[in-house]
Structure 1
Amino acid sequence: MIKKGVLIFSIVLLLAFSFKTYAENFTIRFSHVVSENSPKGRAINYFKNTLEKRTKGRIKVKVYPAGILLDDIAAVGAVKNNIIQMASPAFSKLGLYVRDFQVFDIPYLFENKDEIHNAYTGEIGDILKKKSLSAGFRLLSFWDNGFKVITNNSRSISVPGDMKNLIFRTMGSEVLALQFQLCDAIAYSYPFSSVYDLLKEGVVDGQENTFNNIYSQKIHEVQRYMTISDHGYLGYGVIISPQFWKKLPVSDRKLIKDVLRKTTSLEHKLAAKQNFNDFYRIKNDTSSKITIKELKKEEKEKWENFFKEHYNEFSQIVSDDIFSEALKLN
């Protein structure tokens, strides 16, 4: 029989240990590849400031922006090994670890942002979270950037065939490689941080990106032509190290999720607003010589029909369940 004094002492020790675990100070290292003024960069800084404020500095977030520490591909590996704790790679880069993330790269598979957000919160999101954990990282949230447009230095592009023989920088997914291959163009994968120099030096002819990435990286200053194709979606997965996550008290996990939920709502708004504003900044930039091609309805339909004719090929890259769920959202 346990004596009353021993029992009380044991409870005190347990409570002390629990308090120590809860009150432990630690740092989250968070890497990303875009500028701090981008929607993602601003959202990560909000996450940092809010989490640090709510814990009175007990939890600190060390942010490494603009690829100064790691590019997206290396960051995923670092998260898996708990070298860093968090990252927010583009879907295309996560697709190198979980192929189904490339569903967002398939041209015109999603018609608008509502369908994208339904994918995040529906079966597609659930499937990606499960497969991410099996791949060695935990997917906590989905963040927006926007629909992509095409730029190049050689000629105005009105139809997909106009890209023939041009070299485009891509993020490296199989879907993106096939996308340009179908247009008889050449796709090369390079880190985002090197895109401006590659275009300026003529190593590649063009690239695809969102308005805010184009403007923040000054890509429009070294490109002559832009086609507003809105052909594929650029988004990000916010991931965390499973090793790190398992060691956290339940209370800290709940806190991080709560702050991240509010951050995600903010990030979605920032992305929509900044893409809208940056389009007009690019359009009205008198120092830039870029010519913007806005597709008419019938021209846009030609792009959509061209790529939809090849959906059977794109569907071979992702799993049947992901592709069929995406089709249901149309």
Structure 2
Amino acid sequence: MTKYALKCVISSIIILPILFFSGCKGKEKEHKVEEKKDAPILGEYILKFSHVVSPNTPKGKAASFFEKRLEELSEGRIDVQVYPSSQLYKDNAVLKALKLDTVQMAAPSFSKFGKIVPQLALFDLPFLFKDMAHIHRVQDGKEGQKLKDMVNAKGYIALAFWDNNFKQLSSSKKPLILPEDAKGQKFRIMSSKVLEEQFNVIGANPQMMPFSEVYSGLQQGVIDGQENTISNIYTKKFHEVQKYLTMTNHGYLGYLVVMSEEFWNSLPQDLQKAVVQAMKEATAKQREYAQELNAKQFNLIKEYAKQSGKLEIINLTKEQKDAWRRAVSKIYPDFYDSNKIGEDLIKGVLATE
């Protein structure tokens, strides 16, 4: 008997008397019995999927899709329990929880792997990727597998890359049309050597700042600009405290779905195959959800710009984008060291058609 089967037997012994007793306590107690956390454990294996966003986000919707699909493919042998909105762990703690097998799956942002697999900073490199289709070819190809193998070597099971989307640049000082327009401006960055050099090379001043402080920093003029995806810009209302938004698509934000190695090794081969298939289908859905949300929220930002007259949206020409690419690609060799990102990974991306 596996340890997960044993968990189920023990939980059933504990829960059944509670269910019998609570049935005599009226409607209020009956409602509590129906809640997921108090429900009888039906599966042979329990898979807790912890993430930090709300259920209606692309990540949240894909996690729910994965839950339903894996339970179907495993014929109920795996009971997937999704815990959104940091109900169990925040991203900065979930990797340790996976090691301890107190949760079995998570989808942290790449930055949370910085000390474990710094090579995931590949996705921070500016203007390295042509478009979302190019990113997906990289992630689904040999370069993506190399990154997964590095994560696996650290005691996790890397399953799939999930999207947020491309990052854009904004400013309250002046339109960002050419690289020299950023000179002297203060841009908020998350902790990343790549992002620090990205702004240094064009004469800007990178300022590390917690994400929760960006809105007030922009509003009060502590920083002049920031880089983020449309979904982050819209939901945090950064566009309401900036004058210019330049559609650069210069960098990428995403997540890596990882599983507890202990849990994976406990699964028989047929259930491992079911996990892989369910994740493949969930990843396709997640990419659709992310693209749909990005387009919808960009339309809302455009409507705000039109109605308020307070925001100018700038679409770069090919020539202007090429000027940015030439300026910032000078930093690529700084990350050729295999302990940073690695020349083979960077050149592998550039060679991916």
Shorter-normalised TM range: 0.7 to 0.9
8 A Cα contact 1:38 1:213, kept in partner: no
Unaligned runs of 5+ in 2: 9-41
2:341 & 2:78 partners in 1: Cα distance? 42
TM, length-normalised to structure 2: 0.78
The within-5 A match list for 1:258-269 is: 258-269=277-288
Partner SS, residue 59 of structure 2: helix
Q: Which residue of 2 aligns with 1:97?
A: 116
1:171 & 1:44 partners in 2: Cα distance? 26
1:19 & 1:26 partners in 2: Cα distance? 5
Given candidates 283, 289, 304, the residue that maps to 2:310 is: 289
Post-superposition Cα deviations, 1:124-167, rounded to whole Å, max 9, x if no partner, equal 11211111012232210011222210123333222223323433
Tell me: higher relative CO, structure 1 or 2? Use CA pairs within 8 A at least 6 residues apart.
1
Label 1:19 to 1:99 Cα distance change in 2 as closer, same or farther (>3 A).
closer
Given candidates 38, 41, 49, the residue that maps to 2:60 is: 41
Given candidates 179, 190, 209, the residue that maps to 1:171 is: 190
1:180 & 1:215 partners in 2: Cα distance? 23
Q: Which residue of 2 aligns with 1:319?
A: 342
Post-superposition Cα deviations, 1:251-279, rounded to whole Å, max 9, x if no partner, equal 33222222111110111112222222222
Given candidates 141, 156, 159, the residue that maps to 1:137 is: 156
1:249 maps onto 2:268 in alignment = yes
Q: Which residue of 2 aligns with 1:121?
A: 140
Partner SS, residue 92 of structure 2: helix
1:138 & 1:309 partners in 2: Cα distance? 34
Given candidates 123, 126, 132, the residue that maps to 1:107 is: 126
The within-5 A match list for 1:47-62 is: 47-52=66-71, 55-56=75-76, 59-62=79-82
Partner SS, residue 89 of structure 1: coil
Shift of 1:122: 1.5
Unaligned runs of 5+ in 1: 1-15
2:5 & 2:94 partners in 1: Cα distance? 31
Partner SS, residue 176 of structure 2: coil
Q: CA RMSD in A?
A: 2.9
Given candidates 84, 102, 117, the residue that maps to 1:64 is: 84
2:101 & 2:130 partners in 1: Cα distance? 37
1:247 & 1:178 partners in 2: Cα distance? 43
1:154 maps onto 2:173 in alignment = yes
8 A Cα contact 1:156 1:225, kept in partner: yes
2:3 & 2:193 partners in 1: Cα distance? 48
8 A Cα contact 2:107 2:256, kept in partner: yes
- The residue type paired with residue 225 of structure 2 is G
Shift of 1:324: 2.3
Q: Which residue of 1 aligns with 2:328?
A: 307
- The residue type paired with residue 231 of structure 1 is H
Q: Which deviates the most, 52-61 or 177-186?
A: 52-61
Q: Which deviates the most, 213-222 or 138-147?
A: 213-222
Q: Which residue of 2 aligns with 1:186?
A: 205
The within-5 A match list for 1:11-50 is: 24-50=43-69
Shift of 1:189: 4.2
- The residue type paired with residue 344 of structure 2 is D
2:102 & 2:181 partners in 1: Cα distance? 44
Post-superposition Cα deviations, 1:111-134, rounded to whole Å, max 9, x if no partner, equal 122221221122111211111012
8 A Cα contact 1:29 1:64, kept in partner: no
1:196 & 1:28 partners in 2: Cα distance? 37
8 A Cα contact 1:107 1:232, kept in partner: yes
8 A Cα contact 2:50 2:103, kept in partner: yes
Q: Which deviates the most, 124-133 or 173-182?
A: 173-182
The percentage of counterpart residues that share the same residue type is: 36
Shift of 1:95: 3.5
- The residue type paired with residue 349 of structure 2 is A
Q: Which residue of 2 aligns with 1:3?
A: none
Q: Paired residues, what number?
A: 314
